[in-house]
A and B are shown apart, each in its own frame.
Chain A
Amino acid sequence: MNKTILKTYNLTKNFGALRASDKISIDLRVGEIHGLIGPNGAGKTTLIAQIMGGLKPDSGLIEFDGTDITSFTTESRAQAGLGRTFQISQLAMDQTVLQNVVLGTVGERGGVWNFWRPVLAIQELRERAMESLSDVGLADKAATPVSELSHGGRRQLEVAIALTLNPKAFVMDEPMAGLGSDGSKKMTIFLDNLRTRAPILLVEHDMEAVFALSDRISVLVSGMVIATGSVDQIRNDARVRKAYLGEGS
């Protein structure tokens, strides 16, 4: 079995009376895509936010690459090698696509305290950024201001920025959301190849994509992981069918 890179132990988070995370213990292993599914409001985004440091868990631990990162800031987690994409795009809207990606390379390579050299003229950063844009198929949009980029383009850009960080693990919150069937298919093929670079904890609503991509799947309902297993195990799990899959299909 492959090495575990990311692990949560009994993560619990309450919003007032609402238990959004209820003793969540999941892990991500090197080389895999671990799909995380669950109905709307199940607590998927809340879990991601705790893994990335945007929310503090009430109790529980998060371990990444052998280190307890529960008390790390978001920026330290990114530096440690967690690359994240958001459910709702978080981008510098007044900047160009290229500038957004170059920011990622600055984060990864360092040099943010350079006050003098035009950053877009630094070949090393620029090439790295263009590489990531080519990977996601956005190279021809490099000069476009993000405010003029389509919704699908912004989703791709999110992924491109995460790529520049050269992370040890990706944490993606619904990367297919709003992509349309064509865009979803392309993204599915892209993520399929990405797992060899770094494993992915993939929150996704698109069932077809999750079942096609995942090595393992965890099902979250009302803040609780009710099942973890292979695609077949999840498909045939009675509790999952009752609690979740039964609803839609």
Chain B
Amino acid sequence: MILTRENILNFVITAGLILVPIYAVIVEEPFTITLATRAVIFSLAAVGLNIALGLGGMVSLGHAVFFGLGGYTMGILAFHAQSYIPLFEWPILIEGTKQMLVVWPLAMIISAIAAFVIGLLSLRTGGVYFIMITLAFGQMFFFFSISWSAYGGEDGLSIYVRNQFPLVNTLVPIQFYAICLAILMLALWINARLAKSSFGLALSAARQNTERVRNVGLDPTSIKLVAFVISGAITGLAGALFADLNRFVSPTMFSWQLSGEIMVFIIIGGIGRLYGPVLGAIIFVTLEHFLGGISEYWLVFLGLLLLLIVLFSRGGLVGLLVGRERVHE
């Protein structure tokens, strides 16, 4: 790995994500670990969106759909497991589960299918229409979850005990945190590889100039669609983890505010920058905690920060700290 300023910044952020929770264990401040877990899960959701938004230029205001689907996948499976009511009895018996290793792939597959359908319909359009259509899908899922009374409707679903993972006691906050952080690191690694691959090159070109891509014999729409599916699956996984963190899922996971927040993380940190979503989510959760305690109007401060960043740095905070991305090696 080359020692660029960006790599050093990424290393420092990673070190912070490892050291701060360890420190919290030593000084016995479990709430700090919960905050860190929240930041890491939000980061993961935003890493997902960043593949669509940063690499592919798809301004999706509906990514809460995937976050919510991941959350409800987990919630529904846990609900059936804890109530001993099978999910289906026909044609085969399917019961609920409390195993993360079963929940995660399912959450990703369901989110991926939703992303495929939503992407297929919204990628016919571009610009503002794309934003509006993804937003509309978000609202559709939101209202559907409110009216689905079998799974709590407006009140949401509570899960009694956190899901299980082999060899790990997920009830210990630092152990659950370690799982989330490991997944985030894996997602970042995949993101970094993908960005440099043939697919990543074509996706980034499709963002910048679709005519260019077409005229070398590649179809920009199917490239973007695949990116949207990968993006949705990663955000869906984050949703499943978020449900596990809170042991609760509710329609707010589908809300447009949440879609907006995921996008705000990326704008704060830096659109298209590998660690942009991570830095943005950490700052958001930190401000939410400290300013949210002082004043109800903390979102005004967040808005101000957002405005300053958008006005003064094209690459968000990452851009401000380390400058433009190196495009070549």
Answer yes or no: are A and B bound together in one complex: yes
Q: Verify B197–A95 contact, CB threshold 8 A.
A: no
Contact (Cβ within 8 A) A103 B211: no
Instruction: Enumerate chain B residues within 8 angstroms of A95, measured Cβ to Cβ.
Output: 201, 204-205, 208, 327
For B131, what are the chain A residues with a Cβ–Cβ distance below 8 Å?
A: none
- Residues of A126-177 at the interface with B, using a CB-CB cut-off of 8 Å, are 143, 145, 161, 164-165
Contact between A91 and B209 (Cβ–Cβ < 8 Å)? yes
Chain A contributes a number of interface residues (CB within 8 A of B) equal to 43
B208 contacts A96, C-beta separation under 8 Å: no
Q: Is the CB of A90 within 8 A of B212?
A: yes
CB pair B328 A143 closer than 8 Å: yes
Could you tell me which residues of chain B, from 279 to 329, have a CB within 8 Å of some CB in chain A? Answer: 327-329
Residue in B194, B201, B204, B214 whose CB lies within 8 Å of A78: B214
Known: A99-B201, A111-B198. A52 touches B215 (CB 8 A): yes
Per-residue 0/1 for A40-60: is the Cβ within 8 Å of any B Cβ (1 yes, 0 no)?
Answer: 000000000000111000000
Cβ-based interface call for A74 (8 A): yes
Name the interface residues of B197-237: CB closer than 8 Å to any CB of A.
197-202, 204-205, 208-209, 211-219, 223, 226
Contact B214 A103 (CB under 8 A): no
Stretch at the interface among A22-30, A113-121, A219-227, A233-241: A113-121
List, in ascending order, chain B residues with CB within 8 A of A143's CB: 328
> A98-B328, A106-B202, A119-B201 are contacts. A74–B223 as well, Cβ < 8 Å?
no
B197/A116 in contact, CB under 8 A: yes
With A106-B202, A118-B196 as contacts: A161 and B216 at CB distance below 8 Å: yes
Cα(A104)–Cα(B201), bound, Å: 11
Q: How far is the CB of A218 from chain B (nearest CB, A)?
A: 23
The answer to whether A119 and B328 have CB atoms under 8 Å apart is no
Question: Does A114 contact B328, Cβ atoms closer than 8 Å?
Answer: no
Collect the chain A residues with CB atoms within 8 Å of residue B199's CB: 112-115
Specify which chain B residues have a CB less than 8 angstroms from the CB of A122 in the assembled complex: 198
In the complex, are the beta carbons of A78 and B196 less than 8 A apart?
no
Q: List 23 A-B contacts (CB under 8 A).
A: A52-B215, A54-B211, A74-B214, A75-B214, A76-B217, A84-B215, A92-B208, A94-B204, A95-B201, A95-B208, A99-B205, A99-B328, A106-B201, A111-B198, A112-B202, A114-B199, A115-B194, A116-B197, A117-B197, A117-B198, A118-B196, A120-B329, A165-B217
Chain B residues close to A by CB (< 8 Å):
193-194, 196-202, 204-205, 208-209, 211-219, 223, 226, 327-329
A90-B209, A92-B209 are known contacts; what are 13 more A-B pairs with Cβ within 8 Å? A75-B219, A90-B215, A95-B201, A103-B202, A106-B198, A106-B218, A112-B218, A115-B193, A115-B197, A116-B194, A119-B196, A120-B328, A164-B216
